[in-house]
Amino acid sequence: MPITDPRFPNLRVFEHALIQHKLTLLRDARTNSEDFRALLNEIAGLMVFEVSRNFPTRALMVQTPLESCEGRTLSRPVTLAPILRAGLGMTDGILRLFPEARVGHIGIQRDEQSRAPINYYTRFPTDVANGPVLVVDPMLATGGSAAHAIDHLKRLGCRDLQMVCLVAAPEGVQRLLQRHPEVPVFAAALDRQLDENAYIRPGLGDAGDRIFGTVGA
């Protein structure tokens, strides 16, 4: 079970031994892109196993080799909403648990003059509001992109929203608490702070670059 933080009632942090072990390897600057991607997906799958604990289900009768019995099945479609580009690095691990889940996409960049977040790409199922939506991004730094993505999904009618990230900064968690207090934030770690360049400290570097091997590009 994730633990809570009295400062942030919206935050749930996973202290599971396997998650923390893999997160430590993920932080290591010596971890190459191939291993980084594998670890990221493994952690995402472990986290979402718990995140999905209260997804709605319905009864379903099935025929076993011996007799019929009543089981349970998910009653509403699950949609993943990775924030491009780094969020894509977590989707495979989640889809291993939910191969039937749909994957929407949202790309967000900052306007160079106003510095306000703007969408450069969005694509979601027309019935995205009919089930749980997991907003996925490895890093929750300032919280600007995550808050903007949730704003967009709410305009589409979504109400069952959850944020899933690996590493969060207090500043980002606080921003989501102010903007979207009802949306839970699930993380593998709450790190110390943002630095002057809005990098999470100690963090794990630029997740997108480490996923796609574009460090120094």
Residue 3 lies in a domain: no
Residue 2 lies in a domain: no
- Six-digit token string for 176: 């989501």
* Best CA proximity match to 14, nearest among 1, 31, 29: 1
Residue 4 lies in a domain: no
pLDDT in tens, the chain (217 residues): 788 888 999 999 999 999 999 999 999 999 999 999 999 999 999 999 889 988 999 999 999 999 999 999 999 999 999 998 888 889 999 999 889 999 999 998 776 566 567 788 899 999 999 999 999 999 999 999 999 999 999 999 999 999 999 999 999 999 999 999 999 999 999 999 999 888 899 999 888 888 877 765 4
Residue 1 lies in a domain: no
Residue 103 lies in a domain: yes
* Best CA proximity match to 162, nearest among 171, 153, 170: 153
Residue type, 183: V
Tell me the pTM.
Answer: 0.91
**pLDDT for position 108:** 82
Please tell me whether residue 59 adopts helix, strand or coil conformation.
strand
Residue 105 lies in a domain: yes
- Six-digit token string for 193: 């702070």
Residue 76 lies in a domain: yes
Report the domain count for the chain. 1
Please tell me whether residue 47 adopts helix, strand or coil conformation.
helix
Say which CATH number the domain at 195 has: 3.40.50.2020
Contacts of 79 (CB under 8 A, 6+ apart): 101, 102, 103, 104, 124, 125, 128, 131, 132, 133, 134
Alpha-carbon distance of 101 to 89, in angstroms, equals 16
Residue 154 lies in a domain: yes
- Compute how many other C-beta atoms are within 10 angstroms of the C-beta atom of residue 137: 29
Domain limits for position 162: 9-61+68-212
